[in-house]
Every structure is written in C-alpha cells, then in structure tokens.
Amino acid sequence: MSKEVNVKARRAVVATVHLPGVSDIELESSLTELRELAKTLGYEVVRTFVQKRANFDATAYLGTGKREEIRRFVQGEPLESEDGEALAAPAPAKRRSGVGRAAAKTARHGLAAAREEAKEAALSAAAEGDQRRADVVLIDHEISPSQARNLEDALGCEVMDRTMVILEIFHRHARTNAARAQVEIARLGYLAPRLREAAKLAGPQGRQRSGVGGRGAGEGAGEADRRKIRDRIAELKLELAAMDVERQTQRARRQERQSLARVALVGYTNAGKSTLMRALTGSEVLVENKLFATLDTTVRTLHPETVPRVLVSDTVGFIKNLPHDLVASFKSTLEEAAEASLLLHVIDASDPGYERQVYVTDDVLKEIGADRVPRIRVFNKVDGVGDVKAQKACEKALRARYPKCVVMSALRQGDVARLHKAIAAFFRKGLVKAELRLPWSAQQSRGEIFANCEVLEERADEEGALFRVRGESDTIRSLKERFGTA
C-alpha cells in the first residue's frame, strides 16, 4: 500500500504569464516543453493556467485574481466557470472552462486540453478522497526568490520555476562524478539566494519552509548555512578541477594515439543525438524518450571505420533558457564540441518548434566558443513528420532554407549510411593521394599502411609492393620517410 503511494505520480499544475510579443505558437510550444520536463520528473500535469499580462507581477509573478483561481484549484475548492457555474462535478465540456478568457481566445488547443486535465484531476482527486488537486505548481519562467516565496504563500503549495525543474532533472540524471559535481555547483548557486530569502521571511521564530528548491533546505537558514554552501561550492570546484586535469590528460593521450578527426553531436535535448551515436558507431549509449537523458560526453569510433579514423562524441542536450550556471558548469564537458573538427547539429524535424531548437543551439554554441567549427545540420526524425508526401514536402522546405542539410531518420539504416558517408567525405577533403613502395624485406609493415590509409590500388614487382593510397598529409609524409615513394 505504502509502495503504491510512493510510486504514484505527483500532480502538477503548470502556470505561465503570456507576455505581449510572445506568439501563441511560441507560448504553446514552451508550455508543451515544460509539461515534458514535468513528465521527465515523474509529475502528472493536471492543469495549465495562462494569464495575459503586460509584465510579471513584481510581488508574486501572477496577478491576484489568477493566484486565487489557482489556489482554489490546487486546494480542491469548487471552481467558478466563466459563466459563474461551479465546476467541481464533471459537466458538459462547453461549460467546463477554467482557463482565462484571454487564453481561451488565444490557445484553442490549450483550452481543450485544459478542460480534459481539469476533469481528470477532479475525478482522480475524488476517487482518492483527496481534496487537493495538485501537489506542486510549475512556472514556465525563472522567477525571483521573493516572487516564489509569495506565490507559495498565496497558493498554499510548493512552487518550482523552469530553472529549478531543469536543475532537478540534471540532478537526477547525473551519473558520473564530474556530472554530479557540475550539477551540484549550479544547484547550490541557485539555492543560495533562496535560502537568504527564506531566512529573511523566517524571522527570529525560524519558520519552517519548503518549496522552490526547498526540500527543507530553507529551514533555519542563516549565515552558517550560507557559509556551508559557499564552502561546498569551493570544494566541488576543486574536485572538478582535479577531474579536469585527468580528462585533459586522457584526451591528450587519445589524440596522440588516434587521429584528430573528431565529430561532436550537439543539439536540443531529445533530438536524437544518442540514437545517432549508436547508429553511427554501433555502440550501446543510453537512449531515452526523456529530456536530458545524456549528461556526459561519450566518445566512440565511427563504424564502419574510415580513413582517417573518425571519433564521434555525444554531448549534453540544450534547451531554451538553459540555466546559465549549468552552461558554465558544463563548459568542460562541452569543450569536446568546441574542439571538434566537425559538428553534427541534430534537430528534431518532427517538432513544429524546430526553428527555436536551431536558434537555441546556435546561441549555446556561440557561448562555448564553438560557433566557428564547421557544421552539418542534421534534421532527424523525419519519419515522424507525417505520410511520405508530407515527409518529402518537409525535406524540400528544409533544403530550400538550409541547402547543405541532411534530412533523415535515425531509425532508417539507409539514412544513417548516408550521414556516415557525409562525415567520411568531410574528412576525406583534407586528404592527399600518394604512391608508396614497400620492399619485400619490409612486408611486415603492410598492415600499417592499410591501418592508416585508404589503399586505392596495390601492385607488385620484383622489388616489392606498390600502393596508391589516400591519407592525411602527416601520415603520408611519415610513411614516405620510412618506406620511400614509388
């Protein structure tokens, strides 16, 4: 029984302010993304509230009317519909509206979804004998510590903003020591001012709080706690620095041993980077229909192997408003992208908001100094666009806009082979052709030529074997020095 309670999804309400200048499409795609983030955290989103305002309320983000509406919903009190009817019991769909009039006008789909959500929330709450309809309210912006505090007071439940939701996902998905330390630094940086806020509000009585970043973190928060946080951040930074040295050494070793041809898969979260990594390298990296499944860089060899041998790395995904501290924390991980010779910028072509994915990724790449690295835009998941005709039309439109892009599905072997070819062709461009002569006395080195070059032709005469090869100029030079030319 208690196990059942534990695994039951926590119910969340999503709320946002619709600012002027933000289109309905932008608003809806941002909300959809926040719902996906909530799902990744294990929340069941039961209702979405939108308030049109010229700006955020300085005190508590939402206006008083909307706060009260959400509070009633969360606390399981009867709801007032637009025409004044109570909404607690399921009623015909046209009467069940709780979304603001403005939002109803602007987001028809959102309204239909919100009605369904409200009905399900009411039914499931009633079935469980639980008055409350939600446990947490998720805000689709980053809000200040004091706004969060005031909003929690007004709603009577926990409030998490977009940044906190993302930090929480990173926190849960971090696997390696480096990723854990990176996330922890960003998280503590986010919590510190919120602790100050909690301490301020708590006053001498030391009122207990939970909430934004809370999990009890604000309890009795004082100077000592804040010092502890500062110390912990400093400690984590030292640990990371040590890990960085180790990473650099490993990377240097890898570079010595292997070729410099390196490709990094970058792009929005859930675009299919890890799936492509698997397909291109035949490896078993983690693929999940979750946001931020990958937090660490993995490196594998392009398979089938090419000349020169190409290393492929998978990286952490990006998202709109990626908390700045996280970008900073993941800089060392993202260096892999900045140092690559080629970037594969993966974009989910089946996402109606794919253009935003492109801009966001371009921005982050600039921020980490990777904007000068040559890149191929890979529009993935074209299989999810619609029927064959729709897919063709989508490809045509993308090609008109991005002439050199690759439009593909990671699920189709033929498409993956095409991408493999494009990568190989990129690296072949810098290669030179040469003829090498290997005397019969040095035949044990034959394997070396095959391992380092693409052998275009092999002939034999009395003195030895003749190879017509293609390879990196450095490799060719050193082979010539050792074996001589034909």
Ligand X SMILES: Nc1nc2c(ncn2[C@@H]2O[C@H](COP(=O)(O)OP(=O)(O)OP(=O)(O)O)[C@@H](O)[C@H]2O)c(=O)[nH]1
Is residue 272 a contact point for ligand X (CB under 6 A)?
Answer: yes
Which of 179, 75, 86 is closest to 133 using CA atoms? 75
Strands (E) across 328-463 are located at: 342-348, 375-380, 406-407, 431-439, 454-460
**What residues from 281 to 310 belong to the interface with Mg ion (CB under 5 A)?**
293-294
Span of 88-96, 120-128, 273-281, 296-304 interacting with ligand X by CB under 6 A: 273-281
As measured in angstroms, the least distance from the Cβ of 44 to Mg ion is: 24
In the bound state with ligand X, the residue whose beta carbon lies nearer, of 259 and 275, is 275
DSSP β-ladder status, 136-139 and 298-301: unpaired
Q: Which of 139, 166, 271, 394 binds ligand X (CB under 6 A)?
A: 271
Is residue 410 a contact point for ligand X (CB under 6 A)?
Answer: yes
SS percent in the chain: helix, strand, coil, step 5: 50, 20, 30
Q: How far apart are CA 115 and CA 155, in angstroms?
A: 21
In the bound state with Mg ion, the residue whose beta carbon lies nearer, of 138 and 293, is 293
Q: Which does 40 bind (CB under 5 to 8 A by kind): Mg ion, ligand X, none?
A: none
Q: How far apart are CA 134 and CA 321, in angstroms?
A: 25
As measured in angstroms, the least distance from the Cβ of 317 to Mg ion is: 6
Q: Which of 12, 287, 364, 436 binds ligand X (CB under 6 A)?
A: 287
Give, as one character, the DSSP assignment of residue 271.
Answer: S
Span of 75-83, 125-133, 147-155, 271-279 interacting with ligand X by CB under 6 A: 271-279
In the bound state with ligand X, the residue whose beta carbon lies nearer, of 16 and 409, is 409
Q: Which residue is nearest to Mg ion (CB)?
A: 294
Is residue 174 a contact point for ligand X (CB under 6 A)?
Answer: no
Q: Going residue by residue from 346 to 385, which x/- string records binding to ligand X, judged by CB under 6 A?
A: ----------------------------------xx-xx-
Tokens of 61: 């983000």
Which of 399, 457, 390, 453 is closest to 427 using CA atoms? 453
CB 87 within 8 A of CB 78: yes
Q: Angle of helix 273-281 relative to helix 413-428, nearest 10 degrees?
A: 80
Span of 163-171, 221-229, 238-246, 286-294 interacting with ligand X by CB under 6 A: 286-294
* H or E stretch at 31: helix 24-40
**What residues from 411 to 430 belong to the interface with ligand X (CB under 6 A)?**
411
Q: Kindly give, in sequence order, each residue whose CB lies less than 8 Å from that of residue 52, ignoring residues fewer than 6 positions away.
A: 17, 18, 100, 102, 103, 106
Q: Kindly give, in sequence order, each residue whose CB lies less than 8 Å from that of residue 400, ignoring residues fewer than 6 positions away.
A: none
Is residue 274 a contact point for Mg ion (CB under 5 A)?
Answer: yes
What is the number of H-type helices and E-type strands within the chain? 17, 13
As measured in angstroms, the least distance from the Cβ of 142 to ligand X is: 21
Q: Which does 29 bind (CB under 5 to 8 A by kind): ligand X, Mg ion, none?
A: none
- How many chain residues interact with Mg ion (CB under 5 A)? 4
Tokens of 373: 């690295």
In the bound state with Mg ion, the residue whose beta carbon lies nearer, of 279 and 479, is 279
Q: Going residue by residue from 290 to 329, which x/- string records binding to ligand X, judged by CB under 6 A?
A: -xxxx----------------------x------------
C-alpha dist (Å) from residue 130 to 42, 46, 48: 19, 14, 20
Q: How far apart are CA 112 and CA 249, in angstroms?
A: 56
What does the angle CA 172 – CA 177 – CA 182 come to, to the nearest 5 degrees? Answer: 70
In the bound state with ligand X, the residue whose beta carbon lies nearer, of 52 and 273, is 273
Q: Which of 149, 162, 262, 273 binds ligand X (CB under 6 A)?
A: 273
As measured in angstroms, the least distance from the Cβ of 20 to ligand X is: 32
Is residue 78 a contact point for ligand X (CB under 6 A)?
Answer: no
- How many chain residues interact with ligand X (CB under 6 A)? 22
Residues that bind ligand X (CB under 6 A): 269-275, 287-289, 291-294, 317, 380-381, 383-384, 409-411
Q: Which residues would be at the binding site for Mg ion (CB under 5 A)?
A: 273-274, 293-294
